[in-house]
């Protein structure tokens, strides 16, 4: 009987420890706010000397991202639009490990957009956040969050 009680206590301790470790090791999740097929493509830029915006659109085509560098306010939204005939996989820098601000990719390793698709993400962390196309890392840019 004593061995059963000791085994039960050990199982409970191990179970609670596992749950605590699992809970602390998770990265915060950022969900994609909107993912749909794009019907129009608009590009809004926020460059040097311009007022930062609460939202902007970055369009991807076979030449890369446009605009590639934008500035938004904290809590602002980026709408990614795939205006190409191929899938784009948006990932946070550096390539290929994507350890930067994962808000750029909707909280995942990459944000996959098929031809004509778009997705909107919210970025709250201030600073300069690089991003790239995981399938062609020479295509990328920077999101500055103020």
The pLDDT tens digits for 56-98 are 999 999 999 999 999 999 999 999 999 999 999 999 999 999 9
- What CATH number is given to the structural domain containing 54? 2.60.40.420
With respect to residue 59, please indicate whether it lies within any of the assigned structural domains.
Answer: yes
Q: Which pLDDT tens digit goes with each residue over 113-144?
A: 999 999 999 999 999 999 999 999 999 999 99
Range of the structural domain that residue 137 is part of? 34-145
- In a domain, residue 1? The reply is no
| DSSP letter for each residue of 4-22 | HHHHHHHHHHHHHHHHHHH
Assigned domain for 123 exists: yes
As for how many domains the chain has, the answer is 1
Higher pLDDT, 34 or 144: 144
Quick check: pTM over 0.75?
A: no
17 assigned to some structural domain: no
Does any domain span residue 79? Answer: yes
- Could you tell me if residue 13 is inside a domain? no
């Amino acid at each position: 009987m004593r061995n059963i009680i000791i085994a039960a206590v050990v199982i409970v301790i191990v179970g609670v420890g596992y749950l605590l470790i699992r809970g602390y090791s998770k990265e915060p999740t950022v969900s994609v706010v909107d993912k749909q097929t794009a019907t129009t493509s608009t590009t809004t830029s926020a460059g040097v000397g311009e007022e930062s915006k609460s939202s902007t659109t970055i369009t991807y085509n076979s030449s890369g991202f446009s605009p590639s560098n934008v500035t938004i306010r904290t809590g602002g939204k980026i709408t990614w639009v795939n205006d190409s005939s191929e899938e784009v996989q948006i990932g946070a820098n550096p390539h290929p490990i994507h350890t930067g601000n994962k808000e750029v990719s909707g909280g995942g390793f990459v944000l996959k957009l098929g031809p004509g698709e778009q997705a909107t993400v919210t970025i709250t962390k201030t600073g300069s956040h690089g991003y790239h196309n995981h399938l062609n890392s020479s295509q990328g840019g920077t999101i500055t969050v103020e």
